[in-house]
Amino acid sequence: MSIRVVALFYLIISLLPFFCSNAYAADQGMITVHYPPDRTVREFGVLSVSLSVPEGSADLLKVIVNDVLRVEIKPERTFACFTVPIKLGVNTINISALKGVKQVDSAAFSVFRKSDLEGKFISPLPIYRKDNFHIKDNGKCAQCHKLEPVESDLKPFNGASIKGADKDREKALSATSTCYSCHKKITSYKYVHGPAAVWSCLSCHDKIAEPKYAVKKPDTEVCFACHTDKKKEWSAMKYTHGPVTIGKCAICHSPHASDYAFNLVKPTWDLCTTCHFEKGTGTHVLGDSIFAEGHPTRNRPDPMRKGQELTCASCHSPHTSNFPHLWAFDVNSLYEFCQKCHNK
């Protein structure tokens, strides 16, 4: 045999394991992340991930988000789909595939969660880009998921949510919502907005919008379509709050769901002081008067609203008012204003 033939023979022998399914597991690149692409921008607190590993190549997938183990999946089929929580700013997602105790592959990517409310997170770092899932060819996903919306994705919204035990609810929702199979975690918070609670996603996300499912801007175009009573009431008022003037309802309210009453993105006091930082420092209302500790703005019962805590919204309307400083009460003077609570 010539030396070249021998060399070729050894080359083939040494490469053989890569072609045989089991041994090839030691190779890198088993994990294919289908979505999201590396370095995309997100706006909400949940991130959907879909990846695949060759059948039988791994018996456990571990998903670590910002150093916290979030998901462990036994890949029973080639596709593994899951949703993980993300924080504001940069999030790093590390996925490792294990066969027995041995790590056979790993993959990592990052996403940036932006927020128009939080100064530090308004502009994503320049290496991050917005990405629209629904304008792509998602044929791969269509093997198992329905992607084209149906009539029941636009339900009547009468405030009644789909009730019942968790299992029945889940069944009803998957049967009547195309979006549910992938986006189910978007409503997994304590307070769910009316139309999102019944998965009437298309009442705001138009399937013929450009890009697909984009919502109208400003938010008032979306919100006042249903909250017509508010539109009428508020447009008659003399003073309008800055963010409302520019139509940014969703800077304070999640259109889907949140952990705070009224689907606020933060508890009221934290929300207001994010923009009005100086009002949370303790000198507000009483200024430099003899009451050195200032006027409380939280952690006390609200004398005007039984069962609620004092917050900024106890004295100010977050939207509109007929009185300067957006006072929440119908009063003619500062004295009357103070008397509202201090005369009780």
The residues pairing with 238 across neighbouring beta strands, listed in sequence order, are none
- 63 is a site residue for ligand HEC (CB under 6 A): no
**DSSP H helical segments within 75-134, as ranges?**
none
Question: Binding ligand HEC by CB under 6 A: which of 12, 215, 232, 238?
Answer: 215
Q: What does the alpha-carbon distance between residue 83 and residue 47 come to, in Å, rounded to a whole number?
A: 5
- 23 is a site residue for ligand HEC (CB under 6 A): no
CB of 96 or CB of 181, closer to ligand HEC: 181
CB of 10 or CB of 119, closer to ligand HEC: 119
CB of 2 or CB of 45, closer to ligand HEC: 45
Query: In 10 A of CB 222, how many CB atoms?
Result: 19
Residue 64 token pair: 């670590």
Under rule CB under 6 A, which residues in 260-319 are in contact with ligand HEC? 262-264, 268-269, 271-276, 279-280, 284-286, 291, 295-297, 300, 302-304, 310, 312-316, 318-319
Under rule CB under 6 A, which residues in 104-163 are in contact with ligand HEC? 117, 132-134, 138, 140-141, 143-145, 147, 149, 153, 157, 159
Under rule CB under 6 A, which residues in 218-237 are in contact with ligand HEC? 219-220, 222-223, 225-227, 230
Q: What does the alpha-carbon distance between residue 194 and residue 160 come to, in Å, rounded to a whole number?
A: 8
Residue span 3-22 as binding mask against ligand HEC, x where in contact by CB under 6 A, dash where not: --------------------
CB of 17 or CB of 181, closer to ligand HEC: 181
Q: How far is the CB of 53 from ligand HEC (least distance, A)?
A: 12
Q: What is the CA radius of gyration of the chain?
A: 27
Q: What does the alpha-carbon distance between residue 83 and residue 97 come to, in Å, rounded to a whole number?
A: 17
Whole-Å CA distances, 175 to 181, 212, 278: 10, 22, 50
Q: What does the alpha-carbon distance between residue 103 and residue 77 come to, in Å, rounded to a whole number?
A: 19
